């Protein structure tokens, strides 16, 4: 993880603060380039898995469509791809933050989102 990723535990702890349940974990939407993750690029997929693991270890629940949906949605079928995009928007609105990953230039940002 880069030095920028050191902010993730702080951001996730802020999302967990003042919750009645001490075991609360915020949903973190992990956004990575679909083309690099889905198209037979094992290094990109592994990097995204590592970031998901990092979110989990720092107290969040990673939601990563790029790893999950290709297992059962045909991304080459236009209708399925559009439905998947809609599902991603729904999931994004449920998440407390977004982890943005650039696979070609590893960088980390945790964006807090409100009012989507």
Per-residue pLDDT reduced to its tens digit, 1-42 = 443 444 777 778 888 888 899 899 998 888 877 766 667 777
Half-sphere exposure of 8 (CA within 13 A, CB side): 30
Structure confidence by residue, pLDDT tens digits, 33-78: 776 666 777 787 888 888 899 889 989 999 988 888 888 988 889 9
In a domain, 44, yes or no: yes
**CA–CA separation, 46 vs 41, rounded Å?**
9
The angle that helices 7-16 and 42-57 make with each other, rounded to 10 degrees, is 50
Its domain, for residue 34, covers 3-11+24-112
The token pair that represents 107 in the structure block: 């960088």
- Residue 19, domain member (yes or no): no
Q: Are the C-beta atoms of 53 and 67 separated by less than 8 Å? A: no
Q: For residue 25, give the 3-state DSSP assignment.
A: coil
Does residue 16 lie within any of the structural domains? no
Q: How many domains does the chain have?
A: 1
């Amino acid at each position: 993880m880069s030095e920028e990723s050191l902010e993730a535990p702080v951001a996730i702890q802020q999302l967990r603060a003042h919750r009645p349940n001490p075991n609360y974990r915020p949903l973190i939407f992990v956004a990575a380039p679909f083309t690099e993750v889905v198209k037979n690029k094992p290094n990109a997929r592994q990097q995204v898995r590592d970031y998901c693991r990092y979110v989990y270890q720092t107290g969040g629940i990673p939601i990563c469509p790029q790893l999950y949906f290709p297992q059962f949605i045909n991304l080459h079928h236009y209708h399925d791809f559009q439905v998947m995009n809609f599902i991603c928007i729904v999931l994004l609105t449920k998440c407390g933050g977004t982890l943005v990953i650039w696979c070609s230039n590893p960088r980390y940002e945790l964006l807090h989102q409100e009012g989507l």
